[in-house]
Amino acid sequence: MSEIIDGKLIAQNLRADLKEEIKILKEKYNKVPGLAVVQIGNVAASSVYVKAKTKSAQEVGIEVIDHHLENTTSQEELINLINKLNNQENVNGILVQLPLPNHMNEQIILDTIHPDKDADGFHPLNVGKLSISSSNDENLLIPCTPYGCLLMLKGLNIDLKGKNAVVIGRSNIVGKPMAQLLLKESCTVTIAHSKTKNLPQLCSSADILVAAIGKPEIVKGEWIKDTAIVIDVGINRIEIKNNGESKTKLVGDVKFSEAKLKASAITPVPGGVGPMTIACLLRNTTIAFKNSLI
C-alpha cells in the first residue's frame, strides 16, 4: 500500500515557515510583501482560486491588493493596470488569474508583468533563468505547481539522482518546468504527451511519474512500476451516479484506487498538489520582496 503524500500538511508547514520569516522581515524593515491579484470577469472556478490565494496570503502576513475587473475590460486597459503595478512600490508580486477572456492574448499579458514581480514564474526571463541555472536556485521565481511537486518529492527523503522520471504533459505551466526541475536534481527525464507512442510501456519504466495531461484517470494502475512515486497534478471534475442521482467528483489524471496498490508513494486528488501550488505562490511573493530589499 502506498504512502499518501499529504500536500495539505506540507503546504501548511511551508506557510508556517513563511509566516515566521515575514514576521522577522516586518520587524527589520517595517514593511511586508505585497501581492497584487488581478481577476477579469466572474468565472466561478477563478473566483474560488482567487479567494483561496487571498486568504492564504493574508494569513502569512502578505498584503493583498485586489483588482477585480469587468469581463469587458480591454487588453490595453489591463496592460495599463499591470504597468502601474510594475511601478508600485508596495507591490512585490503580481498575479493575473487565468484563464483570460477570449479577446485577450495570454502571452502578451504575462510578458507585461515585470520579471521581478512575476509571482507565477511564467515570464520568459524567469523561464530562461530556470532553464540555464545549474541548480534549483532558492532565489528564482519558479512556476508554482511544479515547484510544489518538487518539494513533495524532496519531503520523501529519497535520493533523486539517477532516477528515471517521466512527465506526462508538455505545458509551459507544469510539464516543461517540471522536467527542468527534475533534470537539475540529476534525474533522467522523459517528457511524454498526447502523441507519445506506447505511453503505458514508457510509464512503467518510471521511478517517478508526474501526470499533468488533464485527462481524468488516464493513467491506470497497470502502467505503474512497483515502488514508483506518483505525483498527480490533474484536477478533473467528472460526473458520477450516486443512488440514481448525477453528481460531480474531483479526480486526478491517475486512477488512484489502482495506482495506490502499486506505487510506493502517491499524491491524492484533492489534497495533494493543489495546496502546494498556493503555498509556492506565497513563496515566490516573499522571494520577490526579499530581492527588492537587496
Residue 293's pLDDT is 93
253 noted as active-site residue:
no
232 noted as active-site residue:
no
97 noted as active-site residue:
yes
Per-run averaged pLDDT (10 residues), the chain, 294 residues: 93 98 97 97 90 96 97 97 98 96 95 97 94 81 97 95 98 96 96 95 97 96 96 91 81 96 97 96 97 90
Residue 276's pLDDT is 97
Catalytic residue, chosen from 97, 180, 255, 262, is 97
Residue 238's pLDDT is 86
Catalytic residue, chosen from 39, 117, 120, 207, is 120
Residue 294's pLDDT is 79
Ordered by where they begin, the domains of the chain are: 29-115 (3.40.50.10860), 143-275 (3.40.50.720)
- Taking the CA atoms of 212, 216, 222 and 227 in sequence, report the sign of the dihedral they define: positive
Residue 179's pLDDT is 97
Model's pTM, two decimal places?
0.94
Catalytic residue, chosen from 39, 53, 176, 184, is 53
